[in-house]
Amino acid sequence: MQTIKYPQKNDWNQILARPTIELEEMKEVVKQIFKEVKADGDAALRKYTWFYDRVKIDELAVSQSEIDDSEQFISDELKQAIQLAAKNIETFHKAQKIESDLIETTEGVSCWRKFTPIDKIGLYIPGGSAPLFSTVLMLGIPARIANCQEIVLCTPPDKNGQINPAILYACKLVSITKVFRIGGIQAIGAMAIGTESVPAVYKIFGPGNQFVTAAKQTAIQLSVAIDMPAGPSEVLVMADESAVPEFVAADLLSQAEHGADSQVILLSWNEKLLDAVQIELKKQLKKLSREAIATKALNNSKMILVESAVEALEISNQYAPEHLILSVKNEDEILNGIQNAGSVFIGNYTPESAGDYASGTNHTLPTNGYAKSYSGVGLNSFMKSITFQKITRKGLENLGPSIEIMAEAEQLEAHKNAVSIRLNKTC
């Protein structure tokens, strides 16, 4: 990791720049695949599964028996761990239910909201070198709590055309039955457009590489919503002399191993800590099976020595990290100033891995600076609200004259008349 000491404020943007994602270059590729999916349906999905994954797929859908049998191929310890994570995720997301009260804004004017599920949901679950069965829980559980009627899940097959059994076990646990062995651009195209086998959905969720990200952006143009814009995974750690160097290094590496384009940032006003973390990074890096990937990510990453906690907080808010870890003694002072972050992890014993798996919060979070304007996935991500209002005769008499004046000022005569004709009507 590059170490930068006391950077000037006008250099922050350059220092904090993320690894670039060349989505523009992929737009034509995505457009062509979507075009073929629309024209050829399942045949296009098989074609591109062979082209990209070198796997020939006869049956795109995963059978119920494959889902049911999946638990035979994973250990009891893993099943118990997944069950614990599912319980905590369910507890946290159930608590997010919102009930709207009827509000009388003016005498005789009643307004309220009704929350309804998005009927058709698509989930994309990466399944290559890191089969993210945890994401099945993070997306499938709130979708079920929201009572989404149809949940479609796509995940890429292995070289034998099979799906990782832990992914299928997680599907079984959260009652997802429409599972397809499709990955990449073609999977997003299938859920956005629909084929003979894969139902079209109204909103697509889930992480993925730059190809999946580009495909999700294209899906928006087809009136299919997505969870949020996305980029490579990232973490920012803010630490002082109270931090444990081994812990900080482990947290940085846990993000770095996601992908070569991931980015990790360490901010501190204690130079000795930076030196200690550098030593720990070298020690721990050698022990990782994904050492090559993590090493490339660290080349995109920085340790920054700043003057104070106040300056560190300002930099963090400007960066708007997906994950923010606070390993500081005066954490309350920092917490009150956090404006932009996807999810925050507080204290030496709160690793980011906890949120990735089992603490209960959702790990589908805004990246690439989008934490300035987007929230992470929660129960409301799978729902929408409809507003209602009912006005009595007395209510319209109270409200109507103001509506007439405003409509006339905007030169919308029919709007005014819709009120006037009612007020002038004698019952």
- pLDDT for 76-116, tens place per residue? 999 999 999 999 999 999 999 988 889 999 999 999 999 99
CA angle 199–203–205, rounded 5-degree value: 100
Of the residues 71, 257, 322, 352, only one is catalytic, namely: 322
Average pLDDT in the 29-51 region?
A: 96
**Please, are residues 271 and 300 in contact by the beta-carbon 8 Å criterion?**
no
Q: Given phi > 0 = left and psi -120 to 50 = alpha, else beta, which region is 357?
A: alpha
Contact 128, 55 (CB under 8 A): no
Is 25 a residue whose pLDDT tops 80?
A: no
Determine whether the annotation assigns residue 186 to a binding site: yes
Q: Are 319 and 369 in contact (CB under 8 A)?
A: yes
Active site residue 323: yes
Q: What is the percentage of the chain residues whose pLDDT exceeds 70?
A: 99
pLDDT in tens, 118-131: 999 999 999 876 78
Q: Is 415 annotated as a binding residue?
A: yes
pLDDT in tens, 180-221: 999 999 999 999 999 999 999 999 999 988 889 999 999 999
Q: Could you give all domains of the chain from N- to C-terminal order, each with its CATH number?
A: 2-19+231-360 (3.40.50.1980), 23-102+116-226 (3.40.50.1980), 392-423 (no CATH)
pLDDT given for residue 130 in this prediction: 77
Confidence band for 21, pLDDT divided at 50, 70 and 90: low
The pLDDT of residue 295: 95
Which pTM value belongs to this model? 0.94
**pLDDT for 267-277, tens place per residue?**
999 999 999 99
Which strand (E) or helix (H) includes residue 385?
strand 383-391
* Set 234, 280, 323, 352: catalytic member: 323
Confidence of residue 230 (pLDDT cuts 50, 70, 90): confident
The pLDDT assigned to 127 comes to 84
Whether residue 304 has pLDDT greater than 80:
yes
Q: In DSSP terms, which residues pair with 265 in a beta bridge?
A: 236, 302
Per-residue confidence (pLDDT) for residue 427, from 0 to 100? 66
Of 79-83, 222-226, 257-261, least confident by mean pLDDT is 257-261
- Average pLDDT of the residues of the chain: 95
Q: Known binder of ligand: residue 209? A: yes
Residue 258 labeled ligand binder:
yes
3-state secondary structure of 327: strand
Indicate if 363 belongs to the active site.
Answer: no
CA distance 419 to 407: 10
Convert the pLDDT of each residue in 233-253 to its tens digit: 999 999 999 999 999 999 999
pLDDT of 66 over the 70 cut: yes
The answer to which of 11-15, 395-399, 423-427 has the lowest mean pLDDT is: 423-427
Q: What pLDDT sits at residue 19?
A: 80
